[in-house]
């Protein structure tokens, strides 16, 4: 065999040879069964250095090779460490328009599983779009009309939602100067208003829900808000007038005036019970059981 070309340094790869010993080979008698020992053969193929030589800047794999690599990688999961490294290396890099188009093209028609969606949502939590990004999104939505089905879905999702004061102010500002005709306003009032919850707030309180009953509950609760424990004597209106504790219906049923369903709350705490109703019901039912 002709000596292989030496490319790297002076080291010639040596093939490990069996150690020569003076000891005679153990004499295995024919009657003795030799112990079968499977020895794993190590890969003795000497690796060519071709690979690293080819990996020069600007080098590109052929389509065939790319397919092979992709095939070999299929199903393999990257370690967290590796993923972090890749992410680090890509940081600040901007994708070319062509590359972006390619990604978009390959993602077309792809559906994202709920699990993945949740992961994405988790990763995006607390993240905010930049003003520029928001403008771009708004631009993209302009003129677009949601289908009736989508609108119904959105309406359902928004029903009963409490809008923050800040947000309400923003809506008010955006609507400033806009005037609806009387007819239009009539169309949107009461039952016809998109936020109509079935006339909840118009339900009359049960007959027994009078001053006497309210005072009875306040006394039972030692004249303290059962959420923040402020005493009634510490409660004032904006005009510094003495304020009484509100009486809250724990199950939100205004007909249910059983004392077990009533609890004293200061106004700020009472207003908190407007949302997450189920949670509050559970919470106050526990309080009543404890006190009762």
Using CB under 5 A as the criterion, which residues of the chain lie in contact with Zn ion when the complex forms? 225, 227-228, 266, 269
Minimum CB separation of residue 245 from Zn ion in Å reads 8
Closer by beta carbon to Zn ion, 206 or else 244: 244
Closer by beta carbon to Zn ion, 76 or else 238: 238
**DSSP run (H or E) holding 286:** helix 277-291
What is the token pair recorded at 119?
Answer: 């992961």
CB 249 within 8 A of CB 256: yes
Minimum CB separation of residue 274 from Zn ion in Å reads 14
CA 266 – CA 264 distance, rounded (Å): 7
Minimum CB separation of residue 76 from Zn ion in Å reads 57
Minimum CB separation of residue 235 from Zn ion in Å reads 9
CA 167 – CA 161 distance, rounded (Å): 12
Closer by beta carbon to Zn ion, 53 or else 234: 234
Report helix, strand or coil for 35: coil
Q: Is 130 exposed, middle or buried, given 0-12, 13-18 or 19+ CB atoms closer than 10 A? A: exposed
Closer by beta carbon to Zn ion, 184 or else 279: 279
CA atoms within 13 A on the CB side of 109: 2
Minimum CB separation of residue 248 from Zn ion in Å reads 10
Minimum CB separation of residue 238 from Zn ion in Å reads 17
Maximum pairwise Cα distance, the chain: 114
- Of 194, 211, 279, 277, whose CA–CA distance to 245 is shortest? 211
Minimum CB separation of residue 289 from Zn ion in Å reads 20
CA distances to 18, 19, 28, 31, 41 from 37, in Å: 17, 19, 14, 18, 12
Closer by beta carbon to Zn ion, 206 or else 287: 287
Closer by beta carbon to Zn ion, 221 or else 227: 227
Closer by beta carbon to Zn ion, 206 or else 220: 220
CA distances to 125, 163, 174 from 170, in Å: 23, 11, 6
Q: Is 280 exposed, middle or buried, given 0-12, 13-18 or 19+ CB atoms closer than 10 A? A: buried
Strand ranges inside the chain, DSSP E: 246-249, 262-265
């Amino acid at each position: 065999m002709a000596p292989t070309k030496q490319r790297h340094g002076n080291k010639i790869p040596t093939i490990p040879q069996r150690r020569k010993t003076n000891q005679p080979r153990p004499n295995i008698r024919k009657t003795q069964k030799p112990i079968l020992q499977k020895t794993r053969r190590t890969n003795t193929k000497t690796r060519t250095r071709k690979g690293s030589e080819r990996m020069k800047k600007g080098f590109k794999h052929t389509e065939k090779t790319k397919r092979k690599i992709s095939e070999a990688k299929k199903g393999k999961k990257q370690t967290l460490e590796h993923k972090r490294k890749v992410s680090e290396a890509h940081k600040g890099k901007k994708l070319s328009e062509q590359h972006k188009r390619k990604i978009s093209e390959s993602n077309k028609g792809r559906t994202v599983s709920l699990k993945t969606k949740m992961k994405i949502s988790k990763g995006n939590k607390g993240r905010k779009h930049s003003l520029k990004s928001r403008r771009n999104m708004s631009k993209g939505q302009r003129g677009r009309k949601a289908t009736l089905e989508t609108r119904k879905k959105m309406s359902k999702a928004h029903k009963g939602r409490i809008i923050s004061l800040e947000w309400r102010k923003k809506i008010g500002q955006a609507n400033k100067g806009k005037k609806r005709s009387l007819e239009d306003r009539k169309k949107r009032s009461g039952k016809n208003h998109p936020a109509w919850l079935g006339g909840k707030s118009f339900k009359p309180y049960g007959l027994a829900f009078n001053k006497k009953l309210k005072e009875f509950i306040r006394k039972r609760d030692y004249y303290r808000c059962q959420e923040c424990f402020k005493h009634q004597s510490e409660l004032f209106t904006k005009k510094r007038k003495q304020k009484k504790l509100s009486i809250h219906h724990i199950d939100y049923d205004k007909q249910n005036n059983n004392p077990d369903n009533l609890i004293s709350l200061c106004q700020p705490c009472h207003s908190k019970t407007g949302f997450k109703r189920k949670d509050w019901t559970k919470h106050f039912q526990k309080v009543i059981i404890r006190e009762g």
